[in-house]
Structure 1
Amino acid sequence: MNPKPTHILVVRLSALGDVAMSIPVLRVLCTTYPGLQITMLSKPFHKPLFEELPNVHFFPADVSGKHKGIKGLLKLARQLKKNKVDAVADIHDVLRSNVMNAFFKLNGIQVARINKGRAEKKALTRARNKIFQPLKTTVERYAEVFEKLGFPIDMDQHTFPVRKEIPPIMIPLFDKTYKKHIGIAPFAAHQGKMYPLDLMKEVIAQLDSEKNIQIFLFGGGKKEVELLKSIGQKHSSVTNLAGELSFDQELAMISNLDAMLAMDSGNAHLAAIYDVPTITIWGMTHPYAGFYPFNQPAENALLANREAFPLIPTSVYGNKLPKGYENALKSITPDQVIIKLKEILEV
């Protein structure tokens, strides 16, 4: 039997939302086992997420540079071994992490891997003989990995941190003449997960006419930034933050919002881990796959009409858009979105 580890390497390289979902698990792990040393391996961009965790040391994985390919990954694994890691919690289970796992196992280091539930997810997303039932959440799957290493945790013990302090340079962005401050992140990685932009513009225009809600727009790529800038310029209550802030500044802003409206995307998870009420819009994906934002009530999910579009969910990632499903997200009306937002904001 292996001796109980004292220094765990946690591996989750991407994507942003999946990395964010590790935060609540690590919070509980750190408070339950304060003497445990943890090294978090992820992409350099993700570092600000982990700064709140006192016994977590962040190690950046440069997978497109010096840690690229098998040679680079083995170099990375050797560096981590020198840091006296004595167990690995692989909460990613991809080719890259498995290359490193092989090295660690050869060197007598205990490795526990996530059970992604691939067969159940396939049954949930297939077109024929679909088994439509809720699966284990990603957070639960992460927690199981630590249990395999001898560190069971009770997620009911989770507590949220205090809201992040807004850097002085950003305080003027919060206009105190507005009663409520919300974030809207209208984009997603795939068309099948994204609310039609013309309908989102209707939502923004209606909220702008309320005159008591300030809206911050969040986004990612260059094309998205330009689109959000143009939307922001049309409405007095709208401030575009896409492309304007560093990631840690963005986290500080998100943690101080009264609500977030997002797709099944990274921004939804970022808001949820700071206990911000988060409304999510779902198209080709579905909360049953286990990627629902942490600790959010089920009624905060606005779902495309499955009676009209029974193949939903078509995939875990939202990248499969069957013929005739192009307008599935239009089954969620702008009024439904506004009503849900007002209900949460109590305005």
Structure 2
Amino acid sequence: MAKQKHLMIFRFSAMGDVAMLVPVLRCLYAQNQNIQITLVTRDRFAPIFKEFSELQLMTPDFAGTHKGIKGLYRLYKALKQTKPHRIADIHHNLRSRILRLFFRLSFIRVKAIDKGYAERKRLTHPTKKTMKPLTPQHYRYVEVFSRLGFALDVDKHEFPIKPGLPKSSLEIDLPADRKWIGIAPFAAHPGKVYPLDLMQKVVGYLQQEHSVFLFGHGPKEAAQIHVWAKAYPHVIPNALEMPFSDQLDLIANLDVMISMDSANGHLAANFGVPVITLWGMTHPFLGFSAFGQNNHLLVDREKFPKVPTSAYGKTMPKGYRDAMRTISPEEVIEMVLEKI
């Protein structure tokens, strides 16, 4: 029997990038015998990986115990005790670079992700733009693991059996003849959020014949969700009160998900749920599309040629606030109806 290889992976944030690791992990386990994997990530992301019974999670406390250089050295000592043979840094930020250095000094093989900064800069340049698709993030992850000697082909990915519905969802009175549509109408940056007045038209239409589950986080998003839930009888806000683990099980059982360029799209795609992504200041050419999905609705680049303006949608050029209005509610509704 071949000696077990212990792979340690660094990916601390953000949720969407962490979620994109899931299909790659499935392939790692399926295509490599005698592999042990330790994932170093934040505690709040642990439910994303609950399907992996053999996965060891280590959750650093960057605000406390593992803060600063001394804290990172303390974290390194704790990680080293698990005796990893290979380190895959698929985050490549300051913290992970420092940890990589510590492990290299211990003569442990380390490889880091190539984020393609130069290509990304050309794609997001406001005037001298090169509209060429970049390597998808999932394949950037694969490339790191391949360089560490692990066989990996995500084209052979297989979805697991979907989880059952959480108990918290069974309390909802849902007609059996309605499709379940998830909508995650928010994102971290305004440049990635579809105008709420247009999204209301989408919600209002779809809830007439289907059950619409709304997903959000924080008091501001919750307030908007409750406004729609009060206005429309088949809009369901219950996900707001569910633990994150239960939300994931609910998402897995949706018939379709409407998402911005945000984490919810990746979470749904991990279960094979059709995902319709509305792109604002970002663009699928940047490589952050949901796994196995090609259901894109894009801003009109003839009117707004600076799109994509940045990799994460932070940059909003003057006069671009209404760019997402070039995606009509009718287009969104039509694509949803095609998928269900």
Question: Is the TM-score greater than 0.5?
Answer: yes
SS in 1 for 2:37: strand
User: 1:173 offset after TM fit, Å?
Assistant: 2.5
- Consecutive aligned runs of 4 or more in structure 1 exceeding 3 Å deviation: none
CA offsets, 1:2-38, max 9 Å, x none?
A: xx98111101000000000000001000111131000
1:227 partnered with 2:237: no
Q: Does 1:188 align with 2:187?
A: yes
Question: Which whole-Å deviations, capped at 9, do the CAs of 1:183-231 have from their partners, x for residues lacking one?
Answer: 10000011110000111111111112x3x20000001122111221221
Inter-partner Cα distance in structure 1 for 2:102 and 2:167: 46
Paired letter, 1:319 = K
1:327 alignment counterpart: 322
Displacement after TM superposition at 1:87 (Å): 1.3
5+ residue gaps in structure 2? none
Give matches, 1:265-280, under 5 Å: 265-280=262-277
Q: Note the 1:116-131 alignment, pairs <5 A.
A: 116-131=115-130
1:121/1:316 contact within 8 Å kept: yes
Once the two structures are superposed, the pairs formed by residues 150-169 of structure 1 within 5 Å of their partners are 150-169=149-168
- Partner letter of residue 102 of structure 2? F
Cα deviation, residue 174, structure 1: 6.1
Q: 2:245 pairs with 227, 248, 262, which one? A: 248
Partner of 1:80: 79
- In the other structure, the counterpart of 1:315 is 310
Equivalent residue of 2:58, what SS?
strand
Question: Which amino acid is the alignment partner of residue 95 of structure 1?
Answer: L
Report the Cα distance in structure 1 between the residues aligned to 2:311 and 2:304, rounded to whole angstroms. Answer: 16
Tell me if the contact between 1:5 and 1:86 (Cα under 8 Å) persists in the aligned partners: no
**1:221-250 CA distance string (max 9 Å, x none):** 221112212211111100113531111100
Provide the C-alpha distance between the structure 2 equivalents of 1:182 and 1:174, rounded to a whole number of angstroms.
Answer: 15
Amino acid in the other structure paired with 1:43: R
Name the structure 2 match of 1:52.
Answer: 51
Which residue does the alignment assign to 1:301? 296
CA separation of 1:174/1:106 partners in 2, compared to 1, >3 Å: closer, same or farther? farther
| Residue identity matched to 2:289 | Y
Structure 1 residue 344 displacement after superposition: 0.7
Partners of 1:126 and 1:314 within 8 A in 2: yes
Where 2:88 maps in the other structure, the secondary structure is strand
TM-score by length of 1: 0.95
Equivalents in 1 of 2:136, 2:222: separation in Å?
A: 32
2-structure distance, mates of 1:173, 1:8: 42
Partner of 1:217: 214
SS at match of 1:227: helix
**Structure 1 counterpart of 2:188, which letter?**
A
2:168–2:246 contact (8 Å) kept in structure 1: no
- Whichever residue aligns with residue 168 of structure 1, its letter is K
Opposite residue 310 of structure 1, the aligned amino acid is P
Equivalent residue letter for 1:75: R
For the 8 Å contact 1:220–1:243, the answer to whether it is kept is yes
Percent of pairs with identical residues: 45
> Matched residues in 1 for 2:305 and 2:236: separation?
38
TM-superposed CA distance for 1:306, in Å, is 0.6
Give ranges in structure 1 of 5+ residues lacking alignment.
Answer: none
Structure 1: which amino acid aligns with 2:192? K
Q: Distance in 1 between matches of 2:49 and 2:81?
A: 22
What is the Cα-based RMSD across aligned positions, in Å? 1.4
Q: Is the 8 A contact 1:192 1:326 kept in 2?
A: yes
Tell me the SS of whatever aligns to 1:108.
coil
Between the aligned partners of 1:107 and 1:5, the Cα distance in structure 2 is: 20
Asked whether the equivalents of residues 168 and 242 of structure 2 are also in contact (C-alpha less than 8 Å), the reply is: no
Aligned mates of 1:163, 1:196 — CA distance in 2: 32
- Where 1:243 maps in the other structure, the secondary structure is helix
User: Matched residue of 2:315: which SS?
Assistant: coil
* Residue in structure 2 matching 1:336, options 320, 331, 334: 331
Alpha-carbon distance between aligned partners in 1 of 2:213 and 2:263, rounded to the nearest angstrom: 16
Structure 2 length-normalised TM: 0.97
CA–CA distance in 1 between the matches of 2:239 and 2:49?
A: 22
Does the Cα contact within 8 Å between 2:4 and 2:34 map onto a contact in 1?
no
Q: For the residues of structure 1 that align with 2:237 and 2:45, how far apart are their CA atoms?
A: 22
Three-state SS of the structure 2 residue aligned to 1:53 is coil
Q: Secondary structure at the match of 1:115?
A: coil
Tell me how far apart the structure 2 counterparts of residues 202 and 181 of structure 1 sit (CA, whole Å): 17
Residue identity opposite 1:23 in structure 2:
V
